[in-house]
Structure 1
Amino acid sequence: MKAIGFKQSLPITDQNSFIEFETAKPSPSGFDLLVKIEAISVNPVDFKIRESAAKDTTLDTPKIIGWDAVGTVEAVGDQTSLFKVGDKVFYAGDLTRSGSNAEYQLIDERIVGKKPKNLSIEEAAAIPLTGLTAFESLFDRIKVNPETDKGKTVLILAGAGGVGSIAIQLAKKIANLTVIATASRPDSIQWCKDLGADFVVNHHSLKEDLEKINHSQVNYILDFVDLEGYWETAAEIIKPQGHIVSITGSSKPLNLDILKAKSVSFSWELMYTRSMFNTEDIVRQHEILNTLADLLDAGTIKSTLTTTLKGFTVDNLKKAHEMQESGKTIGKTVILF
């Protein structure tokens, strides 16, 4: 089968930053599905791993990365029960296994969902990783209750990004929260408003803008951009007994003491935790993806696809990585096979 990978962590402009090669088509066993891939999307995690996985070394075998994918089940393992051959599926993959930048992939069915019927292949491919991350942030980490927490405020840092774009919709349409998103460019501000944000504030003047809209403090903060840079500000603007969730990490230890007086909760969110550690509730991701598929089919939320590149080629993969590295993309970029 055709695959695209890399042997060295090189700048995306380097001729060998991605290489096309042939490798054996795998066979499923256990809980695995063999999926013939029809579209993938590219996320920031893709270029971050490309930049770090083969630094100062040359791999013997090219590393295949990529996580979001849509495809058709071609074969199933002997312990599968959720899907059958011919089913259309979508998923966000597993950091510990070979990725979706290939014609076929093995994937544990417990982290796979049914493809939304009413969406095109490319629209569906834009959803899994960001959808799971946003959903887990709100409902597994904060544990928002749409009835008792109705009207509470959530600040979404980087509202126009891939995760922010889904989080705005889930927070507004499902969690019943008052949604404040950050954005600074005219196109990203409008994007956030179109997705349902009640307010859009500029991250360069965050505290001042929050005061202008009479929300100087918020119940929840979802950090999808730069926890280290926002940490002290977040501690100031979070309400007592509020909750902060971050997906971004920090290069230095964070001072948790600044949250103590307010009894603020803090959670990390990593969408890969369940698959990396084969947690007891790993099938939860199958359930979340099916829930997202139902919401998309019903039109309650919409795909965040903004760019489609046609053809599974080295050039298109490079182009998608360049776009992610710019930090200025709105929504999601998909490669259609």
Structure 2
Amino acid sequence: MKAIGFKISLPIENQESFIEFETSKPVPGAHDLLVKIDAVSVNPVDFKIRQGSAKDTVLETPKIIGWDAVGIVQSVGEKVTLFEVGDPVYYAGDITKQGSNAEYQIIDERIVGRKPSSLSIEESAVIPLTALTAWEILFDRIRISAEKDKGKSILIIGGAGGVGSIAIQLAKKIAGLKVIATASRPETVEWCQKQGADFVVNHKDLISSVREAGFEYVDYILDFVDNNIYWDTMVELIKPQGHIASITGSSEPVALTKLKSKSVSFSWELMYTRSMFQTEDMIEQHYILTKVADLLDEGVLKTTLNQTLNGFTAANLKSAHQLLESGKTIGKIAIKF
């Protein structure tokens, strides 16, 4: 089968930053599906892994990355019960295994959902990783409930990005929150408003912008940009007994003591935790993806696709990574095979 990967971490402009090659079609294990891939999308984790996983060595076998895919089930493992051959599926994958930038991929059925029937393959391909991340951070980490939290305020830092775009929709339409999203360019402001943000504030002067929007403090804050840059700002804006959650990691120790006087909670979110550690509730990602597909088919949620590149080629993967690395992408980018 054809696959695209890399043997060494190189600048994306380099000829060898991605290479096309032939490799054996993988064989599914007991709980695995073998999926023929029709479309993928790219996420910031893709270029971060590409930049950092082979900096000091040349790999013998090219590393295949990619953590979003849509395709058709070709065969199943002996213990598979959730899917059958021929089923259209979508998923975000497992960071400990080979990725989706290939014609075929094996994937554990417990982290796979049925493809939304009303969406095209490219519209579906951009959903899994960001929807799982946003769902988990809102409902598993902060444990927001529409029943008890409806009408509370949430600040989403990075509203026009892939995770921010779907998080706005989930926070507004499923949790019933008052959504404040950050953006600074006219096109990103408009995008956030289209996703359902009640207020769009400028991240370049965030405290003043939030206060000008009428909020002294906010109940919840989601950081999708940079924990270090925004930490003191989040500490200032969070309401006493509020909750901050982040997906961005931290190059420096997080000063949690600054949250003590307000009794504020803090959570990390990593979408790969369940598959990486084979947690007892790993199948929750199947349920989340299935619920998200239902919400998309019902028109409650909408795809965050903003650009499609046609053709499974190294050139298209390079273009997608260049766009992501610019830091100015809006919504999501799909590659249709």
**TM-score (norm: length of structure 2):** 1.00
Amino acid at match of 2:109: E
Q: Which runs of at least 4 in structure 1 moved beyond 4 Å after TM superposition?
A: none
Q: Give runs of aligned pairs for residues 46-85 of structure 1, distance below 5 A.
A: 46-85=46-85
Partner of 1:123: 123
- Cα displacement (A) at 1:216: 2.0
Secondary structure, aligned partner of 2:317: helix
Partner of 2:208: 208
Q: Give runs of aligned pairs for residues 233-272 of structure 1, distance below 5 A.
A: 233-272=233-272
Q: Distance in 2 between matches of 1:258 and 1:249?
A: 17
Partner of 1:11: 11
Q: Distance in 1 between matches of 2:29 and 2:331?
A: 35
Q: Give runs of aligned pairs for residues 42-191 of structure 1, distance below 5 A.
A: 42-191=42-191
- Cα displacement (A) at 1:336: 0.1
Amino acid at match of 1:199: F
Unmatched segments (≥5 aa) in structure 2: none
Q: Distance in 2 between matches of 1:258 and 1:332?
A: 34
Partner of 2:293: 293
- Cα displacement (A) at 1:31: 0.4
Q: Distance in 2 between matches of 1:208 and 1:252?
A: 26
Secondary structure, aligned partner of 1:133: helix
- Cα displacement (A) at 1:254: 1.1
Amino acid at match of 1:332: K
Q: Distance in 2 between matches of 1:150 and 1:18?
A: 46
Q: Distance in 2 between matches of 1:313 and 1:214?
A: 48
Q: Distance in 2 between matches of 1:119 and 1:23?
A: 31
Secondary structure, aligned partner of 2:41: strand
Partner of 1:222: 222
Secondary structure, aligned partner of 1:107: strand
Unmatched segments (≥5 aa) in structure 1: none
Partner of 2:284: 284
Could you report, residue by residue, the CA deviation over 1:17-51 in whole angstroms, capped at 9, with x for unpaired residues? 00000000011121000000000000000000000
- Cα displacement (A) at 1:214: 1.1
Q: Give runs of aligned pairs for residues 293-332 of structure 1, distance below 5 A.
A: 293-332=293-332
Could you report, residue by residue, the CA deviation over 1:179-229 in whole angstroms, capped at 9, with x for unpaired residues? 000000000000001111000000011111111111121000000000111
Could you report, residue by residue, the CA deviation over 1:96-144 in whole angstroms, capped at 9, with x for unpaired residues? 0000000000000000000000000000001000000000010000100
Amino acid at match of 2:26: P
Q: Distance in 1 between matches of 2:192 and 2:26?
A: 41
Partner of 2:335: 335
Could you report, residue by residue, the CA deviation over 1:249-287 in whole angstroms, capped at 9, with x for unpaired residues? 110101111001111000000000000000000000000
Q: Distance in 2 between matches of 1:254 and 1:224?
A: 16
- Cα displacement (A) at 1:318: 0.3
Could you report, residue by residue, the CA deviation over 1:139-198 in whole angstroms, capped at 9, with x for unpaired residues? 000100101101000000000000000000000000000000000000000000111100
Q: Distance in 1 between matches of 2:5 and 2:96?
A: 15
Secondary structure, aligned partner of 1:148: helix
Q: What's the % identity of the aligned pairs?
A: 68
Q: Distance in 2 between matches of 1:231 and 1:322?
A: 28
Secondary structure, aligned partner of 2:251: coil
Q: Give runs of aligned pairs for residues 29-44 of structure 1, distance below 5 A.
A: 29-44=29-44
Could you report, residue by residue, the CA deviation over 1:282-335 in whole angstroms, capped at 9, with x for unpaired residues? 000000000000000000010000000000001000000000000000000000
Partner of 1:232: 232
Secondary structure, aligned partner of 1:295: helix
Secondary structure, aligned partner of 1:90: strand
Partner of 2:28: 28
Aligned length: 337
**Range that drifts further, 110-119 or 207-216:** 207-216
